[in-house]
Structure 1
Amino acid sequence: MNIRAAASPDISGKDRPRLILASGSPRRRELLAQIGLVPDMIDPADIDETPLKDELPPAHATRLSREKAAIVAARHAGAVVLAADTVVGLGRRILPKADDADTARRCLALLQGRRHRVYTGVALVGADGRCWNRVVESQVIFRTLSPAEIDQYIATGDWKGKAGGYAIQGLASLFVRQMGGSYSNVVGLPLTEVSGMLRAAGIDALALAAAAVRTSVAD
């Protein structure tokens, strides 16, 4: 089990249920911080993420997020557990997370000059055990890349551990010719949908932010 306490609670954490993020992704923590939330604990599920036979990208993202949420929720009774999994799909094909330069290079060679889709499955388990599930889709079109540009990007290491071999919030933003849908979804957590699910589970990010401002002004 790999459980890590968050660096610090958000200001109004005392006014909401405990929030457990079932992901070790720093990008997801940063996205939650954008809406004023810091998880009380980081507890990655660490499951086998191998796609099932003939499993399509959105189904894969949905299944993994649900499995992660269920595993971590079983370890934290009475807490709200948020899990997510982001998948890059090229047609029916699921592109891997790039753990080595050769994998990243193959992914970029496939994606360059083409449209692909990014799916994030989000699963939330409430403090009362109720479950919410969503899968969010964004579309990304890369411009044509030269072999030299791919080599240069590989040399930066910005691709490491990223689905499809790139991080849109980094240098790969230079490759994006067009994007449709949620940007935060491509980064790893669709904030509009996640904030709605959290609100249903008793964590209203906007209300908490407003309350924190009122408290600071009163002090």
Structure 2
Amino acid sequence: MEPVILASASPRRRELLQQAGISFEVRPSDAEETITKTEPSEIVEELSFLKCSDIAEKVRGDRVILGADTIVFFQGKVLGKPSTKQEAAEMLESLQGKTHEVYTGVTFIVRKGKHSEVHTFSEKTAVTFYPMNREEIRAYVESGEPMDKAGAYGIQGRFAVFVKEIRGDYNNVVGLPVSRLYQELKRAGIPGGGISHV
């Protein structure tokens, strides 16, 4: 089987697919991320579909194309990637000592000949932070780690010391619910769930 095409530049998603043993190649989507939905699960599903279908239109042959998108959702608001250090600090200030949800939407398109099957799902994980003081927030922001991450934190990095509790899939917070993905790929008839045994 040809490797899965990952329509994302995220290094975290690459690492998770490598850990799982799923054979893949990277072809990031540059599709414009236009949101028409309001429910967080529908937002990430819509964005993952946009990325996936963008690349599916550009590749030839029988392939599996994979797109994903992750957001942090807190008190009715979507928290994306911070654009400034100030914005990162404000996000962390609002989240500290509280519980929020992380949603990842996943779409994969299975193309065989002229036939294409679209599979989309989303996963939700609740994350609770310990309280943080201003000095802790400032030091973390200055590390640079928050700047390319939804909600301004990386659970797999230095921020791990502030995570009190997780309810749900840890890898979903990193950026890809890889165990659910594996099950969905198997259900879609992908041999071995895309895992290479070479």
TM-score (norm 2): 0.91
CA contact (8 A) 2:185 2:194 kept: no
Q: Which residue of 2 aligns with 1:120?
A: 104
Match of 1:85 among 66, 69, 78: 69
Q: Which residue of 2 aligns with 1:56?
A: 39
Question: Sequence identity of aligned pairs in percent?
Answer: 35
The aligned runs of 1:84-163 (5 Å cut-off) are 84-128=68-112, 129-163=116-150
Structure 2: which 5+ residue stretches go unaligned?
A: none
Which one has the largest radius of gyration? 1
From the superposition, tell whether residues 81 and 207 of structure 1 become closer, same or farther in structure 2 (CA, over 3 Å).
Answer: closer
Q: Deviations over 1:73-102 (max 9, x none)?
A: 111132100100001000321012123211
1:202 aligns to 2:181 (yes or no): no
CA contact (8 A) 1:20 1:82 kept: yes
Aligned-pair Cα RMSD in Å: 1.7
Displacement of 1:155: 1.2
CA contact (8 A) 2:31 2:54 kept: no
Displacement of 1:127: 2.2
Count of residues paired in the alignment:
193
TM-score (norm 1): 0.82
Which structure dedicates a bigger proportion of its chain to strand?
2
CA contact (8 A) 1:35 1:206 kept: no
Displacement of 1:197: 2.4
Structure 1: which 5+ residue stretches go unaligned?
A: 1-15, 213-219
The aligned runs of 1:162-173 (5 Å cut-off) are 162-173=149-160
Amino acid at match of 2:179: T
1:23 aligns to 2:8 (yes or no): yes
